[in-house]
């Protein structure tokens, strides 16, 4: 359906679109076209299989070359999310874990409210063949799934991006509900702050043998990240939690004498010499 009119100003706004390990340049181009249709501009690629730039993407973008010109490429998913404060992960499959599951309308309304408040948001899309794995989904705040035919739920990447971009554009110009008062203004933390908390907590737990048996560690780590990413912590809250973890790292419980303290443990006492004096190094 033709309808390009260069007399209108382009809409350029909205959440970042993050594609994880996209395989086909043609799909990237069609994603850019879907984004341009509905005013999205920030396209990020995580480890694209065929590298970047990609001539096949340019061929299928169909006038959305200005989206491709701004593409940013990242080696890791964590790096691509580092400046974002709210991220939703799209999936067609039910997942185990602690994430809220939203439809596209609710997810886009949430992103619009956050965008209008000056926050940075993103939508995470998986690989053409098998989507996102559970570890990648654990880095998002919420899950988005689509109301589709349950017997044929799979969408290609461009279709999924188009649906989300369309719902986001529909929220444009909406007015927030007027309330008589507001709560504290906490700006959600960028993703890099949250990943730093994950890394610190997991290192502290690992050093204390929390992950037992070892083969359970990936599942336990995924669950920890899911729980900690759900509330949408502010920078101040994350720094508070990291301070708590650092303090516990230095903590060694002191027990009074006579209650099993190291000083009263005969195994910890210095050996006696033959003349009855404690032997030692002087």
pLDDT at 5 over 70: no
| Domains of the chain in sequence order | 16-170 (3.40.1280.10), 191-249 (no CATH)
Question: Tell me, what's the pLDDT at 238?
Answer: 84
Pairing of strands 86-90, 16-20: unpaired
**What is the number of H-type helices and E-type strands within the chain?**
10, 7
pLDDT digits (tens, 9 = 90+) for 123-167: 999 998 889 999 999 999 999 999 888 888 888 999 999 999 999
Q: What is the mean pLDDT of residues 19-40?
A: 97
Pairing of strands 121-125, 72-74: unpaired
pLDDT category at 278 given cuts 50, 70, 90 is very low
d(CA 137, CA 147): 19
Instruction: Report the residue count for the chain.
Output: 282
Q: What is the pTM of this model?
A: 0.68
Q: What is the mean pLDDT of residues 178-186?
A: 53
Question: Tell me, what's the pLDDT at 282?
Answer: 39
Sheet containing 121-125: order of strands: 72-74, 43-46, 16-20, 121-125, 86-90, 142-144, 100-102
Specify whether the CB–CB gap between 96 and 125 falls below 8 A.
no
Residue 176 phi, psi (nearest 5): -70, 150
pLDDT digits (tens, 9 = 90+) for 98-108: 788 999 999 99
Question: Tell me, what's the pLDDT at 4?
Answer: 60
pLDDT category at 57 given cuts 50, 70, 90 is very high
pLDDT digits (tens, 9 = 90+) for 230-255: 667 788 888 888 887 887 766 555 54
- Spatial CB neighbours of 260, under 8 Å, sequence gap ≥ 6: none
pLDDT at 10 over 60: yes
Higher pLDDT, 162 or 97: 162
Alpha helix (H) ranges present in the chain? 25-37, 55-61, 65-69, 77-81, 104-116, 134-137, 157-170, 191-207, 217-229, 235-249
User: Locate tokens 């927030």: which residue?
Assistant: 176
User: Locate tokens 């705040």: which residue?
Assistant: 141
**Could you please report the per-residue DSSP string of 178-233?**
P-S-----PPBPPHHHHHHHHHHHHHHHHHTT-S-SGGGHHHHHHHHHHHHHSS--
Peptide bond into 53 cis (omega under 30): yes
pLDDT at 257 over 60: no
Handedness of CA 189, 192, 196, 202 (dihedral sign): positive
Question: Tell me, what's the pLDDT at 188?
Answer: 76
């Amino acid at each position: 359906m033709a309808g390009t009119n260069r007399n209108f100003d382009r809409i350029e706004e909205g959440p970042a679109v993050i594609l994880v390990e996209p395989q086909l340049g043609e799909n990237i181009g069609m994603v850019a076209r879907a984004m341009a249709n509905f005013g999205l501009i920030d396209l990020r690629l995580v480890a694209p299989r065929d590298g970047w730039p990609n001539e096949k993407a340019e061929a299928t973008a169909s006038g959305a070359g200005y989206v491709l010109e701004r593409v940013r490429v990242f080696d890791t998913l964590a790096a691509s999310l580092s400046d974002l404060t709210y991220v939703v992960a799209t999936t067609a499959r039910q997942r185990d874990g602690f994430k809220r599951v939203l439809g596209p309308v609710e997810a886009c309304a949430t992103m619009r409210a956050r965008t209008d408040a000056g926050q940075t948001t993103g939508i995470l899309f998986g690989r053409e063949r098998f989507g996102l794995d559970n570890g990648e989904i654990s880095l998002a705040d919420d899950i988005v799934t689509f109301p589709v035919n349950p017997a044929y739920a799979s969408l290609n990447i461009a279709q999924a991006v188009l649906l989300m971009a369309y719902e986001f554009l529909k929220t444009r110009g909406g007015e927030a509900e007027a309330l008589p008062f507001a709560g504290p203004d906490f700006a959600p933390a960028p993703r890099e702050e949250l990943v730093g908390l994950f890394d610190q907590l997991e290192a502290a737990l690992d050093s204390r043998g929390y992950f037992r048996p070892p083969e359970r560690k990936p599942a336990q780590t995924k669950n920890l990240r899911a729980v900690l990413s759900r509330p949408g912590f502010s920078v101040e809250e994350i720094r508070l939690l990291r301070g708590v973890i650092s303090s516990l790292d230095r903590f060694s419980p002191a027990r009074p004498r006579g209650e099993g303290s190291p000083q009263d443990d005969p195994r910890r006492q210095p050996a006696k010499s033959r003349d009855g004096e404690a032997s030692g190094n002087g």
